[in-house]
Structures are given as structure tokens and as C-alpha cells.
Amino acid sequence: MDGSLIISNILNPPILFFFLGMTAVLVKSDLEIPPPVPKLLSLYLLFAIGFKGGVELIKSGITQEVALTLLAAMLMACFVPIYTFFILKLKLDSYDAAAIAATYGSISAVTFITASAFLTELGIAFDGYMVAALALMESPAIIVGLILVNLFTANEKREFAWSEVLKEAFLNSSVFLLVGSLLIGLLSGEHGWKVMEPFAQGLFYGMLTFFLLDMGLVAARRIKDLQKTGVFLISFAILIPILNAGIGLLIAKLIDMPQGNALLFAVLCASASYIAVPAAIRITVPEANPSLYVSTALAVTFPFNIIVGIPLYLYGIELLWR
């Protein structure tokens, strides 16, 4: 693998600010982002990527390529939590196995956004409809995870309302804003983009950089939780994303995705949710240990993907598409 890809990725300002956030925690600096700010930055990034995706989707239309990509995204969102659940069951109980499997079956929007910025930096084109794949992959893993819990803890009396589960899966703030922005982009089209471009694109890199600074702070604080996960889960949090990305790349090659789209699809397959799924799991599977499913996704998989994973997956594309 060409090491220059990793170096160029690491030397991007957003990634460097991620390291700055981690360093601040490790050297015990008092650097802190006020709690409402990261939430605002997260909502902005979801709005910007969703709105632009909607505008691009109206340009491309719903072609066979788009339909196949979205179908592949939904299938991966259901397949990943099923097979990872049985791997995790080798060491964990059904509650923790299902919670972590759901986390890895869902996606990280920030990892997707970072990969989009990486492609833009390299001048590799990608299609806006990949945002629709992002939206479709957020929720199914939550449903699959809860089905697995109920199947494998059938002898235990558990009570929860499916209405609450579906509400958390499809109406949580991340999914709602992303899908809403996508639809508004579809409705307003090129005219809407001309009006919104200074806000939706002009501020994008600055917002992403500041958000990754905060993510560096949060990830570094979660490192201590890894002591509770053990070698098995740390290995899982690195190897499973690589395996999922590999499966994603083979699917992308099979349906003949362009290279930029293939990278984003691989990143979606490889990433793990640390916002939407944990929020739903805490409500519906309180028996699961949050320090396991949050720390593996946030303190291991997220840094791995944005530092090493993205250039690694691009290298895989260069080999497969050669």
C-alpha cells in the first residue's frame, strides 16, 4: 500500500485537529467544547451533506445504478449485525452481543463525511445519491439487533414497546434531519443549491474540522473504557471494519460502482454508530453494557477508520478496479 495515501489523509486539517483533541486529553489540558456546540456542529454536517445529496440525486435521477446501490446498502445493514452477533456470542452474552452487532451494522455519518472530504481533496468524483445510502443504513441494524435479543433471550421476560423502538430507529434527530435535508434538496434542486451554497458548502470544512476536534476529545476520554473490553473486542473493532469494507468493495465491484462511490460504500459498511444506535439500545436493551458498545465504536473503530481505514479502502479499490 502506498504510504503517501495515509500521510496525505493524516495531514488533512480535520484529521490533525482530531489528533489535537486527543492530545489535549492525554496531556490533561483544560480544553473543552461546551456541550451544545458539538450537537450543533453534528446537525450542521448532517444538514449540509443531506441537502447537497438531494440536489445531486435530482440531477442523476433514480437509475438502475442508484437502485442497486441502495438495495446493496440495505442488505449490508441487515447482514452485518446478524453475522457479527454470532462472532460476538463466542465471548459475550446475548444482550451485549446484540448491542455491539447493531452498533456495527449501523453507520457513522461523520466517518462518511470525512471520507467525502478525503475524496474531494484527491479530486475523485462521487455521486450525491450515496447520501441516500447513508440514510437507509442508519436504522435497520437497530431492528435486527432487537430481533436477535428477543430470539436468544426468549426464556427471559422482557418488556418494551415496538412503537418506541421504531420511533428511535426512524425518527431520531440524525435520521430525521438527514432524510429531511435530502428531501428538501430534491424539492429545491439547483435553484435551492445556489441560494444555500455559501452556507452548506462554504462553512463545511471549518465545521467538520471543529467537530473532529471535539471527537478527538471524546475518543481520548473513552480510551480508559477499553480496559473493560479486553483483547477480543479491541481486535473485533479493528478487524470487523476491514472485513465489512472488503465485502462492501466486492459488492461495489460486482455492481460496477464508480471508484468514489465504492469508497463511500466501503466506509459505510466499515463504520459503526456511536450516536443513534447507542441511544436506541440504552432504552430498549438496558441489560447491555454501554461501555462495551460505545467505547469499541468510538475509541477504536472511529479513529481507525478516519486515520488508516479510509486510505486503506481506497488502496483496495485501486487494486480491484485496476
Enumerate the domain spans of the chain: 3-24+32-320
- pLDDT of 172 over the 80 cut: no
Chain mean pLDDT for the chain: 88
pLDDT tens for each residue of 2-50? 567 778 778 888 889 999 999 999 999 999 989 888 889 888 988 988 8
Per cent of the chain over pLDDT 90 is 47
Per cent of the chain over pLDDT 70 is 95
Residue/partner pairs of 226-233 with CB below 8 Å, 24 or more apart: 226/295, 226/296, 226/299, 226/300, 228/289, 228/291, 228/292, 228/295, 229/291, 229/292, 229/295, 229/296, 230/91, 232/91, 233/91, 233/100, 233/292, 233/296
Taking the model in full, what pTM does it have? 0.87
Task: Please give the pLDDT value at position 225.
Answer: 77
Pick the CATH number of 3-24+32-320 from 3.40.980.10, 1.20.1530.20, 1.10.287.3510, 2.40.128.260: 1.20.1530.20
Task: Please give the pLDDT value at position 1.
Answer: 58
pLDDT tens for each residue of 89-134? 999 999 999 999 999 999 998 999 999 989 998 899 998 889 889 8
